[in-house]
Each structure stands twice: as C-alpha cells, then as structure tokens.
Structure 1
Amino acid sequence: MKKTKPQSGRPQILKRVSRIVIKKSLGKRRQSTRKLSRRLSIRGNPISHMTIQRHLAQRLDARPYRRPKWAKITQKIKENRLKFARDHENWSFEDWNNVFWSDESPFELFHPPNRQNDRVWAIGSQNIEPIFRLNSQRNYGLGNDVTQSAVRTPHCTPKQTVNGAYYRNEILKKTCLDAIAREAKKGSVIERSMLENMSEFLFMQDGALVHTANVTQQWRSEKFPPFWKKGEWPVNFPDLNPIENHWGIIYERLDEMAQVTTIQALIANLKTAWMTIHRTYFETW
C-alpha cells in the first residue's frame, strides 16, 4: 500500500464532515456561525465561529443576508391579479397614458435613513453622527396624482389617520378637482393639463378603506365617473402604480436634506422633494 507523503503547511482544521455540515446550512434559517460552531464541537470537531465564517466567505463565496419581507399573497389575490391582467392585456400604450394615477404614503418627522445606504467610515464610533428618533414617532401623509403629462400639487396631511370625510373634502374636492380642471397646454408640470384630452381619463386608486367607502364611491361617480371601482384594482398590487417609484425617490431626497424638527419644515421638504422629481425622472416619460 502506497503511503501518503507528508505535506507541508498547516493541516485543515475543518474536517470533511464538518465542511459538509456547513455547506448544507446554506439557505436555511437559524444557522448562525456560532450555532454551527456549537454543533460541530458536540460532534467532535471543535471549531471557532470565525473559522466557519471565513470558510463560508472564502470557500463557499457566501454572504449573510437579511430575510426579505414580502406581502403574503393568497390564492384569491393571485386570481384577482390574473383577472386584472387578462382584462387589460389588449390595452395600448395610449390607454395606459390616460390613467390618472393616485396614491398616498406616510412620512416620519424623524425618518431614519436606509442603514444599508448610509455607511460612515470613521476612526471610532464616537466620531459618527447618531440617528435621532422620537420615543413616540408620528407619521404624516403625502398624497398626489400623476399622469404621463403632469402632476397635481402635493397634499400633505398633518394627521395620523385620514377618514373618509377628510379624504373627500380636503383631498378630492380641493386638489384633485382643481388638477382635473386645468386646461393649460404649456407650463410646469403643476400648471399644465393633466392629460391632452381629459374627457378620456380614468382615475386610479387602490383598495384603501377611505377610497372604497360607499360615500366616497358615490361622490366620485357624480364628480368624475371614469374610475376603477371597488374591487377592480387588486389588493397588494403596487407594482403597476408608477407613484410607488416616486416615494422611494422622495425618501432619498429627504435623506440628502438637513434633518428638521417641525411638521411645517417637513411639509416644506416633502413638497420640495416632490417637485424636483420631474427634473430628472418625470420629463423622460
């Protein structure tokens, strides 16, 4: 029997069985390097969690990730999405251009930035500016409508919650109707007509309770009949609404601005952030 020649260098600390156990842990929950270290120690291969971490990164090219948060999609939601897609599969580009998109989003007075995009290189943690938050954080809403031609003036809601009466009286009557009535063919995106032919517009809103309330549906039927009624827009279906992309841009703009401490300053920043979107994004539609 041929003998194995002695090899130079330090022998591998991780045994073959341990390497298999580590590889099988990929993609599984609750498999931290410390837990793997304890498991392998019990099996007779005592190894530090740092060695396991280096093996995962260098040998297996793995990285630690946070589990993504996805909305739970039920069978009913899937069926509604499929029905919506089939009902509109023959729509042309011009048909979608006639949609009057609408949405609202909450914003915090002390909004924490995205920690993945807010890294700071420093010598010692004491040299890093902290993120301040209130013990009792409050949300404030921003609502808007967009079309392929223009946007309406943003409406900031200094309230924790919005009921049906506030939505109809303060948002629909005061801002939406004014935007629909605009007739100018030129000017800024908050001055010109929302569509070239407003007689063909279709008002879109999601399934929020203030949108689908019977009183609100009746009011909308009388003031501007062309709209997607209750149940037509599938729930948990933000992907198709272009305003969802705008909210992400606004958050980035707010992160670039100086932190404010009053609701009035936050509203001013929100309006400024919203109106700067069209300069780099909106005009390219």
Structure 2
Amino acid sequence: MKSKDVQKIVLSKYQNHEPPKKIFRDLNGAVGYSTIRRWCKMIRDTGEINLNSPTGCPRIIRTKETIRKAKNHFKGSKTKSSRKLALSLAISRSSALRIIKEDLKLKSYKMVTEPLLTDEHKAKRKTFANWVRKHYRKENTMRFVFSDEKMFDIDGVYNAQNDRVWAVDLEDADQKCRKKQRRKFPQKVMVWLAVCSEGVSPLVLFENGTVDHVRYIHEVLPVARKFGNKMFGNNWTFQQDGARPHTHQETQDWCSTNLPSFIDKEHWPPNSPDLNPLDYSIWNEFAQSVNWKKVTSKKTLIIELKRAVKAIRPDVVRESCASWTNRLYRLSENNGEYLRD
C-alpha cells in the first residue's frame, strides 16, 4: 500500500473519531504507532497530514546559510581543515565534518609532492617511452640494471601523516615513543645501489665528501659492471639518471667503452624518478628493512644498511622491474604526466 493511501485511511478514520491505537491495529502494522500518533496530532492542529516539511526540531546549525558559507570557505583554497571551518563558522567540529561530508559531498586527500614537469619535460618523457618500445622487447627490458643514489641519516625515516601510536591517553602515547626527535645536523651516509630482475647489487657507501664524476667512475661503475656481467653476461643495459656525475662526458665515455649497453644522457628524461624501480619501490623496501632502533651513530647506521640490503625481498625487486614497461605505457597514455603509483 502506498504512503499516500495510508495517509488517507488514517485521516478518514481519525475524522470518524477512531483513536490512534485502533487505527494502528486496523492497519496491521503498515505504519508504526508513533507515526500514527504524530499524524493524528497534525490532523488536530492543521486538519490534514502534511509531510512536505521535515519532522523533528528545525535545524539551527546546518542551515542553508551555514552550508553556503562553508562552500565559499573552500572556494579557491588548496588546504582548509575541518577545524578551521568550525572556528570560522563558530560551530562544533563534528557539525563541520557533517557539512563537509554530507552536504558538500567533499572527501579528504593527502597533499603529495612530485617533480615539477614542464611541457618540454613531458614531451621528452613520451619520447623516451616510445624509444624504449621501439628498441627493446619486453624480455630485453628484464635485462636492464637500474641504479640510483640516496642519502640516509641516523634519525631514520617515518611518515608524519600515517604513522600512529595507539594508546589510552597522551602520557601512555609518550611512553610508547609518540615523539620523533630529530637532530639539527644528523650524521649522513650516501649509498649507491643497483637492481635488476635477478637481484640486488652490492651496496656502495660514501661515508665522507661529495660524489663527483671521478669518484663515481672509480667507486661505482666497476661495481655496476661486475654486477651486470654476473647477472646477464655480456647482454644487459645500464640505467642511470641525470645527476651531474652521471652526465659528465668522462662518465658517458666510460660507460660507452666498458658496458655492453647503457641509456645515455640524451635519452633518459629529466625529473623522472617515477621511471626508476629504486625510486618507486625499492628504496622504501630498503628503508623499511632497517632496524632504526639500533641506529645511534654513523657506524651503526652503516652496519644496519649493510644488513638491510640483504633483506630486500627478491619478489619485490622482480615485480618492480617487470612492471617497468607497463609504467612506460601509462606514461604515454597520460601525456607524460608524473606517475603517482
């Protein structure tokens, strides 16, 4: 039975002086008793059942005017919190959240950082993807050796947005190391690493000084050559990004003379860490393998880095290398834009 028909029956019965309880029994539960009583009260007050206006107390917080102000609050703004909205409208934060989620249908997303890509960069990225597809088959890309450098310090790594400490109160949370203390000038170690579908290279550490093309040629490239030859014989391709020690002419000449194949500086696109498995996968795996509780000095950091590199899971390495050609395809599809995952 439709709601309008039920209302007509209730109206007719109540006008015939039937009490709400009898009407409820006659309708055999089609409408709740409290609803029938409310309808009967409407009939007494207005002579009809009018459901055009919402039942209950009128809104005094989430009014149309408040929602309009909240909508204007977010216009042209990149970052606005529910707490700031509540303060500006003089309402509770829970009311602000309901307005944001239920009335404005907005969702919260984390801010992310990524390299600044110009139109020229995007064009070069697309050109690189097309060049790889033209010159290498899928099985050939599985014989690529990807490399990169990264700086680690003794304060470790943590995610300020997602890392949480669960505790019964603030004091308990502090006892569970809620606070992350960082030194003003922490001791640092730069490391070089290479990966391929078959495994991970030995770790090269730079404890002191900067890495120029001379150190890179003498300390890194021989390790890369030995690793690549061990994994694939004389049929593999070396990758390095556009850092200055890599693009120096002496470095390029060394690679051309001593390696079976390599991606030269004219082909590797600028600002493209999303095309290196180390950046989009392996460095995170590496950092998570470090026991940062044991790191209290540069010496212990080096010990942990040497241990952690052996704990990198082979399946993670292989999967990240195998997905590389798919990333190039996505790159071409999205017009050279940065790949977020």
Name the CA shift for 1:258/1:49 in 2 (closer, same or farther; >3 Å).
closer
Shift of 1:282: 3.8
If the length of structure 1 is used for normalisation, what is the TM-score? 0.80
Shift of 1:27: 8.0
Match of residue 227 from structure 2: 179
Which region of structure 1 is more displaced relative to structure 2, 148-157 or 54-63?
54-63
Q: Answer yes or no: is 1:243 the counterpart of 2:292.
A: no
- What is the aligned counterpart of 2:130 among 79, 86, 96? 86
Partner amino acid for 2:189?
A: Y
C-alpha distance in 1 between matches for 2:130 and 2:314? 35
Shift of 1:59: 4.8
Unaligned runs of 5+ in 2: 1-45, 323-341
Percent identity over the alignment is 27
Name the CA shift for 1:5/1:149 in 2 (closer, same or farther; >3 Å).
closer
SS in 2 for 1:140: strand
Q: Report matched runs for 1:190-269 at 5 Å.
A: 193-195=230-232, 198-224=233-259, 226-244=261-279, 245-254=281-290, 256-269=291-304
> Of the two, which has the highest radius of gyration?
2
Q: Report matched runs for 1:1-285 at 5 Å.
A: 7-9=55-57, 11-23=59-71, 25=74, 28-33=77-82, 35-37=84-86, 40=89, 47-57=91-101, 59-60=103-104, 62-90=106-134, 91-127=136-172, 128=174, 129=177, 130-159=179-208, 161-173=210-222, 175-181=223-229, 193-195=230-232, 198-224=233-259, 226-244=261-279, 245-254=281-290, 256-282=291-317
Name the CA shift for 1:259/1:131 in 2 (closer, same or farther; >3 Å).
farther
Match of residue 185 from structure 1: none
C-alpha distance in 1 between matches for 2:272 and 2:54? 64
C-alpha distance in 2 between matches for 1:241 and 1:144? 12
Shift of 1:239: 2.3
Unaligned runs of 5+ in 1: 41-45, 182-192
Partner amino acid for 1:81?
A: R
C-alpha distance in 1 between matches for 2:103 and 2:294? 43
Q: CA RMSD in A?
A: 3.0
SS in 1 for 2:191: strand
Shift of 1:95: 1.4
C-alpha distance in 1 between matches for 2:268 and 2:67? 50
Partner amino acid for 2:70?
A: I
C-alpha distance in 2 between matches for 1:34 and 1:180? 54
If the length of structure 2 is used for normalisation, what is the TM-score? 0.68
SS in 1 for 2:152: strand
**Count of residues in correspondence between the two structures:** 265
C-alpha distance in 2 between matches for 1:113 and 1:6? 49
